[in-house]
């Protein structure tokens, strides 16, 4: 696994983890985009070569720390655009462009790419498509959206927004949020929970507050719809935990699946039994099987 950093903007250095399979094949690059509170490590059960369900053993992969999370940096100010979905997606588009221009890394894109986004990362994935050039869009082989946040604006009631603002403030608040909101504790090990705690606490304060303050309220659907509508034969797999209370089945069907179908995308929806929101940690095998089945 190669750890690298990209200067995406004057105030944002974006860290990523890149892997190549031992045997070169014809698989697309998997681009992993994490949820609000996560990092590139959220996907470790699918990207570590030692894992029994390692997608990195079969596909080239890049797992990105979105701005302000993991080892990535971001602007140190309260500008309401600094950690928007559009700005975050711009980082991702920049990284992919840099890969295509780097003679030592451009081979990663030889067979196109697949965007794999979880929750907020799914909204970032859709925004990335809307921001990208035609050349990039033509490289896109599909989408895998896990517990996806809708591309349209989502306005939470004040009490729920206030709860989210405090969710990642202390170790105790993170552990409570994991066990009571994000995950089915029976499906996580203590090391899984420790990972979530570390990732959630290390995020900078502007990144933590951006999603509940303005990120989820951002409507990136017009640009995403236009870009998706120009593509032909694109496939999207949507996976959702049966017990997810963050992104409910009703909302995902109405605001993600319907949106994609209206945009001309072929979509399947898979409900992962007994699982809540942290599918990449609770049941990564469901993602592994979905990707291997279609790509």
How far is the C-alpha of 98 from the C-alpha of 64, rounded, in Å? 14
Choice between 99 and 132, residue whose per-residue pLDDT is larger:
99
Give the pair of three-digit tokens for residue 169.
């403030």
Write out pLDDT tens, residues 192-213.
999 999 999 999 999 999 999 9
Write out pLDDT tens, residues 245-293.
999 999 999 999 999 999 999 999 999 999 999 999 999 999 999 999 9
Taking 90 as the threshold, does the pLDDT of residue 20 lie above it? yes
Plot region of 162 (φ>0 → left; ψ -120 to 50 → alpha; else → beta): alpha
How far is the C-alpha of 150 from the C-alpha of 147, rounded, in Å? 10
Banded model confidence at residue 155, pLDDT cuts 50, 70, 90: confident
Crossing angle for the helix pair 221-229 and 120-131, to the nearest 10 degrees: 60
Taking 90 as the threshold, does the pLDDT of residue 125 lie above it? yes
| Residue 105 near residue 99 (C-beta atoms within 8 A) | yes
Containing domain of residue 289, as a range?
A: 2-294
How far is the C-alpha of 122 from the C-alpha of 238, rounded, in Å? 10
How far is the C-alpha of 97 from the C-alpha of 111, rounded, in Å? 15
pLDDT at 154: 85
pLDDT at 209: 92
Taking 70 as the threshold, does the pLDDT of residue 78 lie above it? no
Write out pLDDT tens, residues 64-75.
999 999 999 999
| Residue 108 near residue 62 (C-beta atoms within 8 A) | yes
Maximum Cα interatomic distance, the chain, rounded to a whole number of Å: 52
Choice between 255 and 165, residue whose per-residue pLDDT is larger:
255
Based on the structure, what is the number of domains in the chain? Answer: 1
CA–CA distances in Å: residue 34 to residues 109, 123, 147, 199, 250: 20, 10, 11, 11, 22
Banded model confidence at residue 25, pLDDT cuts 50, 70, 90: confident
pLDDT at 135: 85
| β-sheet bridge partners, residue 14 | 6
HEC states along 110-144?
CCCEEEEEECHHHHHHHHHHHHCCHHHHHHEEEEE
pTM of the model: 0.97
Give the pair of three-digit tokens for residue 281.
């940690």
**CATH code: domain of residue 234:** 3.40.50.1820
């Amino acid at each position: 696994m190669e750890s690298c950093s990209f200067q995406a903007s004057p105030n944002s250095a974006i860290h990523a983890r890149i892997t190549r399979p031992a045997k070169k094949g014809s698989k697309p690059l998997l681009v992993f985009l994490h949820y609000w509170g996560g990092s590139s490590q959220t996907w470790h059960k699918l990207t570590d070569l030692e894992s029994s369900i390692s997608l990195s053993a079969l596909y080239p992969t890049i797992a990105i720390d979105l701005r302000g999370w993991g080892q990535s940096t971001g602007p140190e100010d309260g500008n309401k655009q600094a950690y928007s979905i559009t700005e975050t997606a711009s980082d991702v588009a920049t990284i992919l462009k840099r890969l295509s221009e780097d003679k030592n890394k451009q081979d990663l894109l030889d067979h196109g790419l697949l965007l794999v986004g979880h929750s907020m990362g799914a909204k970032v994935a859709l925004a990335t498509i809307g921001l990208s050039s035609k050349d990039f869009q033509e490289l896109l082989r599909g989408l895998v959206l896990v517990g996806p946040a809708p591309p349209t604006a989502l306005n939470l009631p004040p009490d729920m927004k206030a709860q989210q603002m405090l969710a990642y403030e202390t170790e105790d608040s993170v552990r409570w949020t994991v066990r009571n909101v994000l995950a089915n504790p029976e499906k996580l090990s203590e090391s899984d929970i420790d990972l979530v705690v570390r990732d959630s606490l290390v995020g900078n304060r502007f990144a933590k507050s951006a999603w509940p303050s303005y990120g989820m309220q951002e409507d990136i659907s017009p640009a995403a719809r236009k870009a998706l509508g120009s593509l032909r034969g694109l496939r999207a797999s949507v996976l959702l935990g049966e017990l997810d209370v963050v992104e409910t089945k009703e909302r995902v069907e109405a605001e993600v699946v319907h949106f994609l179908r209206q945009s001309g995308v072929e979509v399947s929806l898979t409900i992962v039994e007994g699982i809540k929101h942290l599918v990449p940690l609770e049941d990564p095998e469901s993602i592994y099987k979905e990707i291997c089945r279609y790509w």
